[in-house]
Amino acid sequence: MKFTGKILYVLSKPAPEKLKSELSNIVDELNKTVLVKGVGKPEYGAKIVGYTIVNGNVLVFNVVSGRRVKIHDAALRARKKLAEVLGKKYRIGIRNIVLEDVIIELEGEHKVSLKVPYVKNVEVSNGRTLIYLSTLEESDIKKPIVDRLIKLLYEKEQRLLWGGKAEHWYLVKESGVKRKIPPFREDPNKILEEIGWIKRFSIGQWIYTPPFTYLLNMIKNIFLDKVVKPLGFQEATFPKMYPLEVGLRTGHLRGTINSMLFASLPVSYDIAEFEELIDYMYVTNKAPAEEVGKYVKPPSYFLCFAQCEPFYQFFSKEILSEESLPIKWFDQAGPSFRWEAGGIYGVERVIEFHRVE
């Protein structure tokens, strides 16, 4: 990750001639001290590679920086030092900082949405990605939105350098235990279906008939009685459908959006507005998702994915006393949903599953 661009300091007065002649020393000083302080290798820090004064009162630094002192960090670091020098010696203040023509260069070829704030253009070529930012004012620089953008870009780069999961495990040692051939080697899913204990409902969804429900309840009760309750957990009841904002807070929308299910409201509470769709379904006896979709709003919820989501909501504005911790709650109030389209099998890997969590 590399940054290039211009830092503009808007001064409160025109720069005097004396300052101009002194700039070379100030820049050298900045490059040797605050711009590389605590960065390890100098290339991780920032460097002023050119400077000039325009319009009399705008001090312009051309900067190249690494990831430890990003260009906007450099602007703030240098500001502090500059303000000292300018204030003491010339009684000049710094009115504003502007970043212009900032380009963030990433290793690897990345897709970056042009809808992301401050991203003006993206160029991808020869294993590198150039991200052109729009002009940033001092108020922008201090916003978390810029930090989030840069953190995102850094993570994209790292993820690519780090590679996928498959490369990162290897067998250290195998235990000496001989692999016994289990006495029962049939597929229990097939047997359960044949004897009518489970019945296919839809992709990754099953109906559990009373004998199988009984069996699962027994296993659940053992878990509750021997583990959950002795550990002091109490039952709470969590909703099973969550507003999208909750998924932002938990990080699921960023990390697992490809395996989540989304929920939408009907376009209206007035059935008269559905009349044409109802007629269509009535006569054709079909309900194509595309047609139904026209009468449904964009998805404002997602279905319970990882059980814990309502905790974020519950405690989001709470201040807790230390004595009240840890909070020991469990929930078994309904199913969770994961679109494991690539990996479903029998009742082992399903789209809709029950759990105590």
Q: Give the three-state DSSP class for 61.
A: strand
For residue 314, state whether it binds its own copies (rule: CB under 8 A). yes
Query: Hey, how many other C-beta atoms are within 10 angstroms of the C-beta on 30?
Result: 23
The nearest distance, CB 2 to its own copies, in angstroms, is 19
8 A C-beta contact, residue 168 and residue 150: no
For residue 271, state whether it binds its own copies (rule: CB under 8 A). yes
The nearest distance, CB 148 to its own copies, in angstroms, is 5
For residue 274, state whether it binds its own copies (rule: CB under 8 A). yes
Q: Which one of residues 224, 243, 355, 356 is an interface residue with its own copies (CB under 8 A)?
A: 243
Q: How far is CA 187 from CA 193, 273, 344, 346, in A?
A: 10, 49, 15, 9
The nearest distance, CB 214 to its own copies, in angstroms, is 7
- Of 216, 231, 254, 225, give the one whose Cα is nearest residue 353: 216
For residue 279, state whether it binds its own copies (rule: CB under 8 A). yes
For residue 169, state whether it binds its own copies (rule: CB under 8 A). no
Under rule CB under 8 A, which residues in 127-146 are in contact with its own copies? 144-145
As to burial, measured by CB atoms within 10 angstroms (0-12 exposed, 13-18 middle, 19+ buried), residue 178 is exposed
Instruction: Pick between residue 22 and residue 147 the one whose CB is nearest to its own copies.
Output: 147
Contacts of 113 (CB under 8 A, 6+ apart): 119
The nearest distance, CB 279 to its own copies, in angstroms, is 5
d(CA 151, CA 157): 10
Instruction: Pick between residue 135 and residue 264 the one whose CB is nearest to its own copies.
Output: 264
Q: Which one of residues 67, 212, 228, 250 is an interface residue with its own copies (CB under 8 A)?
A: 212
Stretch that binds its own copies, among 67-75, 170-178, 181-189, 195-203 (CB under 8 A): 195-203
The nearest distance, CB 129 to its own copies, in angstroms, is 12
Stretch that binds its own copies, among 13-21, 89-97, 223-231, 272-280 (CB under 8 A): 272-280
For residue 260, state whether it binds its own copies (rule: CB under 8 A). yes
Stretch that binds its own copies, among 54-62, 78-86, 99-107, 148-156 (CB under 8 A): 148-156
Handedness of CA 134, 136, 137, 142 (dihedral sign): positive
Task: List residues bridging with 331 in a β-sheet.
Answer: 236
- Of 77, 118, 99, give the one whose Cα is nearest residue 9: 99
Helix axes 17-32, 71-85, angle to 10 degrees: 130
The nearest distance, CB 117 to its own copies, in angstroms, is 6
Q: Which one of residues 42, 108, 334, 346 is an interface residue with its own copies (CB under 8 A)?
A: 334
Under rule CB under 8 A, which residues in 72-101 are in contact with its own copies? none
8 A C-beta contact, residue 60 and residue 53: yes
Q: Which one of residues 112, 133, 136, 141 is an interface residue with its own copies (CB under 8 A)?
A: 112
d(CA 148, CA 161): 20
d(CA 59, CA 173): 63
For residue 284, state whether it binds its own copies (rule: CB under 8 A). yes
Under rule CB under 8 A, which residues in 218-237 are in contact with its own copies? 234-237
For residue 164, state whether it binds its own copies (rule: CB under 8 A). no
Contacts of 299 (CB under 8 A, 6+ apart): 244, 262, 263, 264
Amino acid at 182: P
